Amino acid sequence: MADQLLQQIVNSLLIGSVYALVAIGLTLIWGVMNVLNFAHGDFLMLGMFTAFWCYTLFKMDPLFSIPVCAAVLFLLGVGIYRFIVSKVMKGPGLAQLVVTFGVSIFLANLAVMLWTPDFRLIEKPLLSGTWSLGSVQLSIPKFAASVGSVLVSAAVFFFLKRTRTGKAILAVEMNRDAALLMGINTERINSLSFGIGSALVGIAGAFLSMYYYIHPQVGGLFGLISFCIVALGGFGSIEGAFIAGILIGLVQTLGGYFFDPAYKYALVFLVYLITVWIRPQGLMG
């Protein structure tokens, strides 16, 4: 059935672009300071809860609470960097790995304690419903989230390539010691990157909250998939993460449709394994 094929491709792009935004936040943190943030999925969850509470307490639609989510997660990211990650970065590599893992477990359980393990949805988001375009059903909130993710990704791209601060981030990413010698405050760049990376996942959380359920454990699989996307796109590469995000969306959705839904995540990880086998540095690494 050709209509279902078109529908599935549209669905792939819708989920893929949100994956891309989540992964760009992760790859930025990795690229600048070689720290793998295992709590990234939990940051996404906190972004979703921020949007939820803005809606519940202040009647603020996720569309308008995007800056709030970005700000809250930016501050959280900077705080976690300053008080936890920067301390551990002086220690052995394993400590860095374990510390963000600990943060992940802490945040998920904190969320259970504060907000109970109930499932929440934003009841009446401003954007809802579907457009019927011929045989394709296009969910309006998913479409908005997807377009928003692409715009934010593009903005990050231009920020890095065109502004002084962005160039400083890229400089640190390329060579930390040389950047330090050129007078760049690498410590400031580190915390800025951690903050921006977290803010991006916060924005993704706000987008997702328009149509996804909100729960303390919601970040798990999103986090895992974003690791896969970062590795597939090439560690530290923004363009790579974007392309890989879309690619993973396509593999997951079309694989599930044509092959077997029970194995769709297995297919995602298979594609990842094959790619790193042929090209260990990732697509754009």
Partner 1 sequence: MDNLTRRKFLVGGGALALSPLVVSRAFAQGKTIKIGAVYPLTGNLASTGLDCKRGVELAVEIINGKYDLNLPLARTEGIPGLGGARLEVVWADTKGEPKNGQAEAERVITQDQVVGVIGAYQSSVTKTASQATERLKVPYVCSDSSSPTLTERGLRYFFRVSPHDGIFSHDQFRFLKDLEAQKKQKVQTLGVLYENTEFGSNVGKEELKYAQEYGYKVVADISYTNNATDVTSEVGRLIKANPDVLLHASYITDAILFTKTFKEMGFNPKGMLTMAGYIEPGYLPAIKADGNFIIVRSTFALDLAKKKPLVGQVADLFKKKFGIEMSENAARSFMAPFVLAEAISRAKSVEAEAIVKALRETNIPGDQVIYPWKGIQFDPKTQQNVHATGTLVQIQDQQYVTVWPFESAAKDVVWPFPAWKSRK
By the criterion CB under 8 A, which residues form the site for partner 1? 1, 4, 7-8, 11, 15, 112, 116-121, 123, 130, 137, 139, 142, 211-213, 215, 220-222, 225, 252-257, 260-262, 264-265
Nearer to partner 1, 104 or 191 (CB): 104
- As measured in angstroms, the least distance from the Cβ of 85 to partner 1 is 27
- Our CB check for partner 1 shows the closer of 40 and 120 to be 120
Whether 249 contacts 13, CB under 8 Å? yes
Q: Which residues neighbour 31 within 8 Å (Cβ) at sequence distance 6 or greater?
A: 173, 193, 235, 236, 237
What's the min distance (Å) between Cβ of 212 and partner 1?
8
| DSSP-assigned letters across all residues of 229-260 | HHHHH-TT-HHHHHHHHHHHHHHHHHHHHHT-
Which sign does the torsion angle of CA 230, 231, 237, 239 carry?
negative
| C-alpha to C-alpha distance for 226 and 198, rounded to whole angstroms | 13
CB of 8 vs partner 1, minimal distance in Å: 5
Question: Of 16 and 282, which CB lies nearer to partner 1 in the complex structure?
Answer: 16
* Pick 58 or 213: Cβ nearer partner 1: 213
One DSSP character per residue, 86-113 reads HHHTTS-HHHHHHHHHHHHHHHHHHHHH
Task: Report, in Å, the least distance between residue 94 CB and partner 1.
Answer: 28
Smallest separation (angstroms) from partner 1 to the CB of 83: 29
Residue closer to partner 1, measured from CB, 125 or 195? 125
